[in-house]
Every structure is written in C-alpha cells, then in structure tokens.
Amino acid sequence: MESGMEEIPVKVAVRIRPLLSKEVLHNHQVCVRLVPNTQQIIIGKDRVFTFDFVFGKNSTQEEVYTVCIKPLLVSLTEGYNATVFAYGQTGSGKTYTIGGGHIASVAEDEEGIIPRAIQELFQRISENRNIDFHVKVSYIEVYKEELRDLLDLENSVKELHIREDDKGNTVIVGAKELQVECADEVMSLLENGNAARHTGTTQINEHSSRSHAIFTISICQKWSAESQKSNAAAQNASWKSADMTASKFHFVDLAGSGRVTKTGNTGEHFKESIQINSDLLALENVISALGDPKRKSVHVPYRDAKITRILKDSLGGNARTVMITCISPSSSDLDESLNSLKYANRAK
C-alpha cells in the first residue's frame, strides 16, 4: 500500500429515482433530467451539472452495480481498499441503491449494491483455487456520534472505539467481525443488521434515516502453499513480498441530508440534523482535501467526525471511492436536489 502511491480521485455518480406512485398520484412534476449521450444533468430551467456517471429514472440496479461498483470489487480482490457512499435527502433512494433494505422481500433484479458485491466476491473466490481467502464482515451504525454494532444486538450499546494500528489501518475495537464462508451466510447477517437498523428505536424509519450505516467486507488472501511453489504468477504477484494481503470494502448508507430549517424539525430532531450536517460537512472537507492538487501540504481533517475517522484508511491513497448521490425528481424537492448536486459537484 505505501509504495507507488497513486492518487485516485473520488468518482461521483448521480442517480435520479423515478417518481413514486404517491407522487404521481399527487401530480408532482419532474424537475431534473439527463442530457442524452452526456454525463450531464439539468435541474430546474437551466442549471447544468456534469458528473463521472449519471443514472436516470430507468437505470437498473444491475447497471449501477456494473458501472460504479464492479471495478471496486475487482480492486478489492487485488488488495486495495474501497468505499462507496450513498448520499442524498431522505426518500431519494440511498437504501434502495446500496441494498440495505429487507433483502428477502426484494426481487432478484431489484437487489442493490451490497448483495451483488457479495455474490460476485464469492464467485471470484470459488474460481480462484490458488488463493486461500478469509472473509469477515462487520456492520456498524453511527448515530449522533455514537457507534452501535448491528451484528451484536444483545450488546449493541457496548463501548466501541476507533483506533489506528501501527500500519495505519483503522480498527473498531469491540466491534464484532464475523468470519463467513459463503454468500448466503453474509446475506443473512446483512438482513439481521438491516432489521436492527429499523427497530432500534420507537420512531422506526426516522431513526434509520438519521444514522449512517457502514457495512464492511474485509478479505485476507494468501497464496496456498502448493501454488506458491509451482505457480509463476504467485512469484510475481505485487503483494508477494508480504505473502499475504488484506483489504476491505465499506458500503456506506449515509444519514439523510437536508436543511435544518424544515418544518417540524424541532428539539431532538433539530440536534440530530445539526449533527448530520456537521458529519456530511466533515466528509465533504475530507474528500475535497484529498482531491486538492496541493494535497501534500493540505491537512486532511479526518478527525472531525466519527464517520471520517472510521473510513480514514479507505479514503484517498490508493483506495477507490465512489459517491452515489441520490436525487428525487419531484419539483417539490427541487431545493434539496439542487443542494445535493452542489455537494456532489464539490466532491469531484
């Protein structure tokens, strides 16, 4: 990881969901559209934005996965860390896109990013007999700067601490990391964790949209003893010197963005919103510091929020990062959508 540092810019995607049936019912108008054959989006009358990838209302889950995530999954198996974020206001499609909902009730072609990545990872593992793989998963929720373990609900309020080990890897001390052997096993852990996200408090959906959820797949790979002797490729592998390589992929469903002033946003909600905005600002500051050409001399403010501390070793350097900004097409959400596009634009 240390040598030959190649700085890889954060890729930014925007996905516009279709109008929901209740929006159609209430005659909502569409205020965002794609410019055909470009990577551009027009919002309102004439504000134009350009991104690395744009997905319109007819984009499929498969398309989003193949274009944005598959290259990261490949680089994970090559030993690099990766992170994908879903950003956007509540109701814009973050959980749908990431795949953090109720998996069992989702049709196969509607599966989001996480289930697809899991399936592809185990597919690749089964095709690669020369390498011994160990796969572990963890699932953490960050709510008002407190960490909750979504894989250990009996003890979910235990103390979790973010530490950096001597190699610069971020570890969450106290978090459950479960070793897994197959895709189905991961899917059921994910499903349980997702359910926990929704039932953690009395205010069911509110809570999940006000917390960040970080699902992490960590892999450790080692050439099997046999193939190390016989296989020339093993001798040439870039990570041969270490004999073993470890890498991880974070899938992050961020808390809903949105202005603090929206009606009904009082008391506890007001405080939550302030916290969320401060986290999202911290993330933006980290991403833009990483994208700064003078980066060597720029301070990257990872320490400003739990979310950026947790992701520190998987943002920047030669880690691959994609931010998917989710947008509602409805004119009633124009202000929030415009804000989200501006945020995404600053991350480029």
- Nearest residue to 168 via CA among 95, 237, 81: 81
Q: Supply angle C-alpha 341, 85, 102, rounded to 5.
A: 110
- Binder among 81, 83, 209, 247 for ligand ADP (CB under 6 A): 209
For the CB of residue 211, give the shortest distance to ligand ADP in the complex, in Å.
11
Distance (Å, whole) CA 333 – CA 315: 30
**Residues 6+ away with beta carbon under 8 Å from 179:** 134, 135, 136
Is the Cα torsion angle 276, 216, 17, 42 positive or negative in sign? Answer: positive
* Contact partner, 316, from ligand ADP, Mg ion, none, Cβ < 5-8 Å per class: none
- Give residues 221-260 in contact with ligand ADP (rule: CB under 6 A): 256
Give the pair of three-digit tokens for residue 322.
């994609």
Instruction: Say how many residues make up the chain.
Output: 348
Q: Nearest-CB residue to Mg ion?
A: 95
- Give residues 35-94 in contact with ligand ADP (rule: CB under 6 A): 88, 90-94
Distance (Å, whole) CA 215 – CA 289: 25
- Binder among 83, 89, 92, 95 for Mg ion (CB under 5 A): 95
For the CB of residue 98, give the shortest distance to ligand ADP in the complex, in Å.
8
Distance (Å, whole) CA 150 – CA 140: 6
Give the pair of three-digit tokens for residue 329.
């097409």
For the CB of residue 96, give the shortest distance to Mg ion in the complex, in Å.
8
Number of residues that bind Mg ion (CB under 5 A): 2
* Contact partner, 213, from ligand ADP, Mg ion, none, Cβ < 5-8 Å per class: none
- C-alpha distances (whole Å) from 263 to each of 79, 116, 270, 271 are 47, 38, 10, 14
For the CB of residue 101, give the shortest distance to ligand ADP in the complex, in Å.
7
- Nearest residue to 190 via CA among 117, 256, 88: 117
* Contact partner, 326, from Mg ion, ligand ADP, none, Cβ < 5-8 Å per class: ligand ADP
Q: Nearest-CB residue to ligand ADP?
A: 93
Residue number, 131 or 283, with CB nearest to Mg ion: 283
Number of residues that bind ligand ADP (CB under 6 A): 14
Residue number, 16 or 82, with CB nearest to ligand ADP: 16
- Give residues 295-334 in contact with ligand ADP (rule: CB under 6 A): 326
Q: Which stretch binds Mg ion (CB under 5 A): 14-22, 92-100, 308-316, 338-346?
A: 92-100
The answer to whether the beta carbons of residues 300 and 288 sit under 8 Å apart is no
For the CB of residue 326, give the shortest distance to ligand ADP in the complex, in Å.
6
The answer to whether the beta carbons of residues 307 and 51 sit under 8 Å apart is no
Distance (Å, whole) CA 237 – CA 68: 26
Specify the 3-state DSSP secondary structure of 21.
Answer: helix
Sketch the per residue contact string, 11 through 30, with ligand ADP: x for CB under 6 A, - otherwise.
Answer: ------xx-x----------
Give the pair of three-digit tokens for residue 10.
């954060």
For the CB of residue 205, give the shortest distance to ligand ADP in the complex, in Å.
8
- Nearest residue to 254 via CA among 225, 282, 220, 213: 213
* Contact partner, 200, from ligand ADP, Mg ion, none, Cβ < 5-8 Å per class: none
- Give residues 87-146 in contact with ligand ADP (rule: CB under 6 A): 88, 90-96
* Contact partner, 320, from Mg ion, ligand ADP, none, Cβ < 5-8 Å per class: none
Q: Is 218 in the site for Mg ion (CB under 5 A)?
A: no
Distance of CA 247 to the CA centre of its chain: 15
- 86 φ/ψ angles, rounded to the nearest 5 degrees: -110, 125
47 forms beta bridges with 43
For the CB of residue 94, give the shortest distance to Mg ion in the complex, in Å.
5
Residue number, 89 or 218, with CB nearest to Mg ion: 89
Q: Where does this chain bind ligand ADP (CB under 6 A)?
A: 17-18, 20, 88, 90-96, 209, 256, 326
The binding site for Mg ion (CB under 5 A) comprises 94-95
